A and B are shown apart, each in its own frame.
Chain A
Amino acid sequence: MAPSTMREDTRDQTGNRRPWQVAAEQLSHTASGLDWLTERRTAALVRADRLGLPDQSQEEWRYTSLTPFARRWLDHLAGARLPAVPEPVPPTLAGVFSVDIVDGMLCAPLLATPPGLTIQSLQNLGAEWRTRVEALLGSAVSPTDTSASDSLIDLNTALLTDLILVTTEPGASVAIPIHMRLQATAASALCQTRLLVDLAAGSRLTLSLEFTGTAGVLVNAVSQMCLGRDSELNLVRVQALPDDGMLLESTSIEANDSAAVTVTSVDLGGQLSRQSLTVRLAGTGASATVHGLFLADGQRHIDNRTRLQHEAPSTTSREFFRGIAADHGHGVFSGKIIVQPGAAGSNAALTNRNLLLTTTAEIDTKPELEIYVDDVRCSHGATTGQLDANALFYLQSRGLDLSTARQVLTAAFLRDSLTGIPLPELRERLEARLESRLQAQTGAAR
């Protein structure tokens, strides 16, 4: 390729370089042993290039701008990385099987995985799994039903350096929770994390994902999870990036006949965090429970978009999302329940409750129902407000000072969202972190 042509290729109409083109060029020098993926990566890059990064003219990205993300990505690619000051890695939890993933790569060979469970990476992927991985990568983006966020998935496919495949054996109940610590470091310009989870029929797994990183990191994470018939997944997802970290995350979960998924999502870090969670209830009797909690304090921008899609008869979904915003924080929640024509006898409920601790903070919420069949029970609602004045006075009348009363009520508000986390130590750590942040908040505010 002639140098002049190349320069043209890597700039958009406004003259900005396209970061993914630069990243792809850099990647081609280093990536090896992934030849079987090349075709898929090339196609994904072409699509991503055509779509570009999502922008605010698209409804689902209305409140979230990726301009600072793209700018920093280019800076990182040009070598202007922030110094690698390691964030303290969260302490290991007792009673879990820990898996460390650094910059999207499984960093050490795993020894003694719990019975019934296999964790593989691209480097050691069994030949019998290659077809399954290819199928999953290929189905990540629908060829017909394109969404504004698809380019993020395509970028991940095009630029990933590794992927993690978690599989269970049919009927296996994995006895201990798997705790994945997904760390991003200054070594990657944009950390691409790709996680594939495939639960065989009748199996059970508890999986927690904790996103951490060093200063200024950028992460683009894509997870695809497929639940076989009668299987159960208890998924915990914690975003605990440093205050200047940015995370874009696309997760899709497919639940087949009678499969049950429980998701608890917690955002407590980052400068910019955008999670898109799609749960497809694709099999008869499948069910999903989603608990979410975000704390948008400081300058944080936290955007959660969830889609619960009922595609089969007698499917059930329950979603409870809570948000707290303070200082100049901005929280966004958009939750949609879609009941497709084939999903008669379905039952869905979505509740979103938000708390504004200061008048300078903002929360935008949009709960939606889209129903294409008669025989269903659906409800949705959202509230945004301050702490209840009656409850504050009640606590004061019992001798608690106003700032303690505010703290107690705020902690109670968020504790509710965490009760479903099946890792007690992780839950306690999250409670302590959130409460100490709120303490700073209520102490400073009034």
Chain B
Amino acid sequence: MSTLLEVSGLRVAVGGKEILTGLDLVVRAGEVHAIMGPNGSGKSTLAHVLSGRDGYVVTGGSVSYQGLDLLAMAPEERARAGLFLGFQYPVEIPGVSNVYLLRSALNARRSARGESEIDAAGFLRLVKAKARLMQMDESFLQRGVNEGFSGGEKKRNEIFQMAVLEPVLAILDETDSGLDIDALKIVSNGVNSLRDPARAFILVTHYQRLLDYIRPDFVHVLAGGRIIRTGDHTLALELEADGYEQILAAAST
């Protein structure tokens, strides 16, 4: 399998404080990686810095995405190259409809690949099919982006957008937080239906519960800004049973 993402010795500071302290991670096509860790371990910082958010200063290391220097790319260039960030707190944008955002986003990707804009009928078929997958009412398409959505609806909308945009690498930041069990199933089902030998996922999560529905190939424990342990899906169960303390203690000895 080809390597999609290679993070080497990544050091990142926020407001003068170092949050990532030399992080290594390799993600190949077809894989699902779960990044777990206690609060403040740097999970969300990793998601943000990979997606290109402002305010994160890279002080060392490198990130290569499909052979490109990811850190040199603008957020929109990353998106057009197939990177997708599922937000922990999706933003409400009244006045911009969901359908407008999706068409703009899809056409930006297509144009970056040298393809023509999607025709109206094809676009509508696509979004309707994906809305069904996510069990979302079609009427929401005309509403403002996330406008008046509940927390669960917002997360569902993130996965719906991902389903329409069909990214190469999806980073889902705490997608499970704030979801009830039904919504968690729908969201997991959306992610599972997109699993593909050419696609990879990074699930950033605090709890093991999401991994009951999406079985990861690798589980990484992030602490103090570095990955201190890597295992298969059973590591998540171990964490659930014993908590982070034992692993943290083991790592420090």
| Chain A contacts to B: CB under 8 angstroms | 388-391, 393-402, 404-405, 408-409, 411-413, 415-416
Contact = CB atoms under 8 A, between A and B. Distances in A.
A409 to B, nearest CB: 7
B109 interface: yes
B104 A397 contact: no
A401 B94 contact: no
Contacts of B105: 398-400
23 contacts: A389-B54, A394-B87, A394-B90, A395-B96, A396-B52, A396-B75, A397-B52, A397-B75, A397-B78, A397-B84, A398-B105, A398-B108, A400-B76, A404-B104, A408-B96, A408-B104, A409-B95, A412-B93, A412-B94, A412-B95, A412-B144, A413-B95, A415-B95
Contact of B76 (A390, A401, A409): A401
A198 to B, nearest CB: 37
Nearest to B83: A397
Contacts of B75: 393, 396-397
A394 B75 CA distance: 9
B162 to A, nearest CB: 10
Given A395-B93, A397-B78, A399-B80, 12 more contacts: A389-B54, A393-B53, A394-B93, A395-B96, A397-B79, A398-B105, A398-B161, A399-B76, A399-B108, A401-B74, A409-B96, A412-B144
Contacts of A415: 95
Nearest to A419: B95
A396 B109 contact: no
B214 interface: no
A257 B67 CA distance: 73
B91 A390 contact: yes
Contacts of A413: 95
B165 interface: yes
Interface in B66-107: 74-76, 78-80, 84-85, 87, 90-91, 93-96, 100-101, 104-105
Most central of A399, A400, A405, A413 by chain B CB within 10 Å: A399
Interface residues of B, number: 30
Contacts of A389: 54
A383 to B, nearest CB: 14
Q: Which one of B74, B93, B112 has the highest number of Cβ atoms from chain A below 10 Å of its Cβ?
A: B93
A399 B110 CA distance: 10
B76 A402 contact: yes
| In the A-B complex, the 3 residue pairs with the closest CB atoms | A412-B95, A399-B108, A399-B79
Contacts of B53: 393, 397
A391 B79 contact: no
A379 to B, nearest CB: 19
Interface string B97-127: 0001100110011001000000000000000
Contacts of A408: 96, 100, 104
Tell me which of A390, A397, A411, A416 has the highest count of chain B C-beta atoms within 10 A of its own C-beta: A397
A397 B54 contact: no
B104 A400 contact: yes
A404 B100 CA distance: 13
Given A393-B53, A404-B104, A408-B104, A398 B165 contact: yes
B51 interface: yes
A19 B105 CA distance: 58
B109 A399 contact: yes
A401 to B, nearest CB: 5
A72 to B, nearest CB: 38
Contacts of B78: 397
Contacts of B87: 394, 397
Given A399-B80, A399-B109, A400-B108, A412 B96 contact: yes
A398 B74 CA distance: 12
B74 A396 contact: yes
A402 B76 CA distance: 8
Given A389-B54, A391-B91, A396 B96 contact: no
Nearest to B144: A412
Interface centre among A390, A394, A408 (most CB of B within 10 A): A394
A399 B81 CA distance: 9
B95 A398 contact: no
B44 to A, nearest CB: 14
Contact of B91 (A394, A399, A411): A394
Contacts of A400: 76, 104-105, 108
B105 to A, nearest CB: 4
Contact of B104 (A391, A398, A402, A409): A398
A411 B51 CA distance: 25
A408 B96 CA distance: 7
